[in-house]
Amino acid sequence: MSCIVYQTDKRTGIKYAYESFSYWDKDKQQPRSKRKYMGRVDPETNEIIHTDKKVKKANVSSAKDQKELSRLYDEILSKDQEISVLQKRISKLEKRCSVLSEAIRKIGSIAEDNYSV
């Protein structure tokens, strides 16, 4: 049998919800229970907000982290520009291939006309 158990953290006042499962422990010959974390309880609506076990703290980054993020962002921008250049180059090469294949097709048809005469 399972039920929902609510527990309030005394330090923060945040209310958490757990699903409690009862089972019989054969070794100790007595009932036991296990709890599975479900999430926080919204104080206004009393609805369960499903979250990870570890709630992520506010994003307080050090200067070193900000510098690393900035570097990664710049790297992404440069890679995007490089991709754009390569896409344009591919487009030009595809057009060139289609022109060449058309020329080869015409040469082939001319050669067939000359040999069939």
Q: Please spell the DSSP secondary structure of 14-81, one letter per residue.
A: -EEEEEEEEEEETTTTEEEEEEEEEEEE-TTT--EE---SSPPPP----HHHHHHHHHHHHHHHHHHH
Indicate if 17 and 71 belong to the same structural domain.
no
pLDDT score at 54 = 65
pLDDT of residue 70: 87
> What pLDDT does 34 receive?
93
Distance CA 26, CA 4 (A): 24
**Sign of torsion over alpha carbons 84, 88, 93, 97:** positive
Same-domain check for residues 45 and 64: no
Number of domains in the chain: 2
pLDDT in tens, 19-37: 999 999 999 999 999 999 9
Predicted TM-score of the model (pTM) = 0.43
Do 82 and 116 sit in the same domain of this protein? Answer: yes
Domain that holds residue 28: 2-49
3-state secondary structure of 98: helix
- Per-residue pLDDT, 68: 85
pLDDT digits (tens, 9 = 90+) for 79-93: 999 999 999 999 999
Q: Say whether both 68 and 109 belong to one domain.
A: yes
In angstroms, the CA 55 to CA 57 distance is 6
Contacts of 8 (CB under 8 A, 6+ apart): 14, 15, 16
The single-letter code of the amino acid at 14 is: I
State how far the Cα of 12 lies from the Cα of 8, in Å rounded to an integer.
8
> Does 43 lie in the same domain as 98?
no
Q: State whether 40 and 63 are in the same domain.
A: no
